[in-house]
Structure 1
């Protein structure tokens, strides 16, 4: 069996951009992947578990959904489409409500009505299978020949360069790369994997802009969630673009 094309794409991007963190593939499955581990075996927060997977030597597949939901962050389960939005989440995300968790709130939105409108604007979220699976591209079994998206962690310069490569063959200047509102798992998985009905297609999602996961990410780390169709074009364009033809510009050794 030929090597997984997703593995080749991820490894090409990692090498070209000198990424220390391994690119991660996101895909759906109807059964628990062989040798897989539930997200909660690493962290209740999906984003924190993903960063661990990207920066460790662990090659197992992380999965969530189906019968593997206990102990997982309810927000993550909501934004992956496995459970309905809890009615009180609009208060928790915004200004709080005394009757809910004693008024505890994240103050990420000005009021509950804005939260409701944001959720509505994103559209219905549909998981790609009974389970959402995340695995390092380099560790993908040959049988995994497709994926929904890739998640790329890097420092600011690497993510800037990744964004520039997304724009390389695009004539629309504003929307090939955007910074969307939403929890970190939406930036890393939901939007790029095409799970939110109204998320733009062929768009890379930069972030995360959710400060509630700052504790889990190094201060100089950002991420880019990339639909597989976009990642494939990026890999194909590496040799044609500034990445290969002007590496001294992309990764300067001397700076003023």
Structure 2
């Protein structure tokens, strides 16, 4: 079911950016049945969905990015599977873990202990269903009306993402699961899980990451991502004036950080 918001997507982005003092653009994710006006195929930016999305957050003028029907050529096979536009190839279980000569001559990523561990981890997702004929990622700044946004994507340094994670916890009583570091590729952290594409992904959690080191060659070492389901993002906006970020900004964002010395 699509949730339509009373607050504009633009305002949600503004308040999330204020809460996190983000230097990058908050992005939103939604499904569409037609190509967005002025949209750019995401694969024209990069074959890796996650890399292209991060690049979009760096620009004040990035166009809407989209992928889906007729717009998947050149996309990473994993990205296609993890967003529901195609099946996940069984041999990927070997590639992600220990390798098999039947796939890329035994090349492996060693991200899981065994192919069975990968298989069972993927089964935990349930069905993966795309949000529409096309998936659209664009700057929150560009939207007033809500086309059915599923999630907000944020990037920041450790302090910024810690504070946004604390804002997720502000109204939650789930001590352990309000923010999850779930296994999967980087696109799962920002798309599959927070946007509800995976049938069994909890809807009442935000997702922090990435948990996939294969993106470390392009994802900055001092950055993290936070994928926030739209309902939780709205809650952050509603709570902002009552929470520590506004009430005690000197605690959330100290002007001077204490310099610690090594214990010898």
Q: TM-score, normalised by structure 1?
A: 0.96
Contact 1:23 1:54 in 2 (8 A): yes
After TM superposition, what 4+ stretches of structure 1 lie above 6 angstroms from structure 2?
none
User: How do 1:1-256 and structure 2 match up within 5 A?
Assistant: 5-140=8-143, 142-256=144-258
Deviations 1:124-172 (A, max 9, x none): 10001011110010122x4444300000100000000001000001111
Query: In the TM superposition, what is the alpha-carbon distance from 1:4 to its structure 2 partner?
Result: 7.1
**3-state SS of the aligned residue for 1:20?**
coil
CA distance in 1, matches of 2:128, 2:86: 10
Contact 2:31 2:148 in 1 (8 A): no
Contact 1:179 1:209 in 2 (8 A): yes
Q: How many residues align?
A: 253
Contact 2:25 2:60 in 1 (8 A): no
Segments of structure 2 that go 5 or more residues without pairing to the other structure are 1-5, 259-264
CA distance in 2, matches of 1:115, 1:220: 28
**3-state SS of the aligned residue for 2:127?**
coil
Deviations 1:55-112 (A, max 9, x none): 0133311001110000011100010010111121101100000121010111000000
Deviations 1:165-200 (A, max 9, x none): 000011110011010000000000010001101101
Contact 2:8 2:145 in 1 (8 A): no
Contact 1:152 1:223 in 2 (8 A): yes
Query: In the TM superposition, what is the alpha-carbon distance from 1:16 to its structure 2 partner?
Result: 2.7
Q: Aligned-residue CA RMSD in angstroms?
A: 1.2
Query: In the TM superposition, what is the alpha-carbon distance from 1:254 to its structure 2 partner?
Result: 1.6
Q: TM-score, normalised by structure 2?
A: 0.93
Segments of structure 1 that go 5 or more residues without pairing to the other structure are none
